[in-house]
Structure 1
């Protein structure tokens, strides 16, 4: 694994960005499972565990706060409200995490409803801008439980995961959040702008 906390283009300490996420601050079953995995991975010092308040499923980046006009944000939220109102709430399940290059993460099941929410958000954004940022294809819904902060052998992380035994968690998804996010302290932290 490699260090997750390198600075992506445009990001720096103090800069904030708009993004659409599914958040899990009110998901006790997800917190239960996250706690088990945080404890099980505690011996791997190259991993930064994600606290309950920062558990999220990244849906769609919007842009930096200093580059997006408040009127554009207002119109985007109005469009998202119309489009998401027709989608039903749904449940996802989180079971065994997988290891990627920069994170240990859950891939929620089923993925289809999450993809539908993201598509509605991208369509709402297209009502305000000619094109939504990022690619529409290739989206893989995921919730990270830990990010790597330095190079670490895959085998060390896999061994720690293999020793963890916990029943899956379920979460009901009833809204998407437009947030104002930063990563100044090697953690994703945010304030909520709008819940749709």
Structure 2
């Protein structure tokens, strides 16, 4: 089960390979999205690294290094389908809307084994949901409200620390993490990034095209 379908504290019963090719994706293709990225966030790096250490001996995992930790927010579309002018218009609208969205703090601590990833949910979720709604509003001003990609309701904010790479039971991963008694990490979210991303090397990697500050 994906994170959005799991109750708080619940783990999936089985896992599967995260790196199957979703519709439209292929080697060399790039995608525009809004993500929260985490440069110079040592508290988050500490927590993620402790979980990575606990998972290091487990098979069939892609551990995510600090550089590529992110909070997935909202996709826009593939770069060969969205024009430069459209991207610029979305960024301009987002700047306008985000001028009224204040910076906020969230906490990461609990770790959950989902069907394709091992993740840390963000708490409280409400300000992250508000930020995503603001970004969706900017996209809707350009695309039309009924044309905004992705489901507005199927969103549970989180940061992944590892992706699963094989099918099997979730229990071994849950057991590997249960011994961890870690101090939660607090993170201040002060911006959101428009990125151009790819997954050519079994990792989500990106270039930041625009950094949009919160108020």
Give the TM-score, by structure 1 length.
Answer: 0.98
In structure 1, the partner of 2:116 is 102
User: How far apart are 1:84 and its partner, in Å?
Assistant: 0.7
Aligned counterpart for 1:170 among listed residues 179, 186, 200: 186
CA apart distance, 1:135: 1.0
Shift of 1:138: 2.1
Do the aligned partners of 1:2 and 1:149 also contact (CA within 8 Å) in 2?
yes
Query: 2:71 matched to 1:71?
Result: no
- 2:203 alignment counterpart: 187
Aligned mates of 2:124, 2:148 — CA distance in 1: 24
Structure 1, residues 74-133: CA drift from partner, whole Å, max 9, x if none?
A: 110000001011011000100110110001101100111100110010110011102211
Q: What is the aligned length? A: 196
The alignment's C-alpha RMSD in Å is: 0.8
* Cross-structure match for 1:126: 140
Structure 2: tracts of 5 or more residues without a match: 1-14
Runs of 4+ with >4 A deviation: none
| Alignment check: 8 A CA contact 1:46 1:152 kept | no
- TM-score after normalising by structure 2: 0.89
Matched, 1:116 2:116: no
For structure 1, the residue ranges without an aligned partner over 5 or more in a row are none
